[in-house]
Chains A and B, each alone.
Chain A
Amino acid sequence: MALDVAGVNTYTEELGSTPRSCRSDMGKMPGARFAEQVPLNFLLFLHRLAEEARTNAFENKSKIIKPEHAIAAAKVILKKSRG
């Protein structure tokens, strides 16, 4: 464990009240929280797309993902991600 002054300081800041970087964001509207949620949805979408494309490629016994696999996957996943 770091016993020097700087190390102790960071340690107490972590355990203590909100870190400074978070504080500025917290005061904002709920929009701030929403804006961080869209990337999550996009990540999940890409994950699904990747899985689908991979299964397509496996079915065709192909070692690499070709455009036709990606197109077929895109059709299915875009349909699934309709709200």
Chain B
Amino acid sequence: PLQPLRAKPVPKGLRAPQRKTREPEVASSLIKSIFSHYVKMSVSRDAFKIVEKCSERYFKQLSNDLEAYSHHAGRKTVEMADLEVLMRRQGLVTDKMPLHVLIERYLPLEYRKLLIPVAVSGNKVIP
């Protein structure tokens, strides 16, 4: 009796390699360019790896903190106020260094337009 034709099983090694799912992260080239912009010194390759790992740890910490703050306020959404409190706790925002000054200093103009209210002609304020 004829047996039905079956596709040959492909040996494991020849299969198309499945892409590993990776944790979302900030692009290492971006971290590298920002960090080297701020240090203004030569940085060894291993030190960059440390910085990347450190920024991953930082985001973990940041999200935990923000969750705690919004939960404390009885919300499920993280809002601007939470972040401002956090930055105050981190010692970035102080009475002498308001948040708007930091935004002006560090963020490009496109972001600044969205974050800081500006009065334009016709007595309109954006945003």
Contact = CB atoms under 8 A, between A and B. Distances in A.
A51 B51 CA distance: 13
Given A65-B43, A67-B50, A18 B114 contact: no
A26 to B, nearest CB: 5
Contacts of B111: 36, 39-40
B112 to A, nearest CB: 9
A8 interface: no
Interface residues of A, number: 45
Contact of B46 (A33, A39, A67): A67
B11 to A, nearest CB: 42
A42 B58 contact: yes
Given A32-B114, A44-B102, A46-B31, A66 B126 contact: no
A41 B92 contact: yes
- Using C-beta atoms within 8 Å of the partner chain, give the interface range for chain B: 35 or more
A6 B33 CA distance: 37
A37 B44 CA distance: 30
A64 B43 contact: yes
B127 A65 contact: no
A10 interface: no
Contacts of A65: 39, 41-44, 47
Interface in A1-45: 15-18, 22, 25-26, 30-34, 36-45
A71 B89 contact: no
B55 A45 contact: yes
Interface string B51-76: 10111011101100110110000000
B124 A18 contact: yes
Interface of A: 15-18, 22, 25-26, 30-34, 36-47, 49-51, 53-54, 57, 63-67, 69-71, 74, 77-78, 80-83
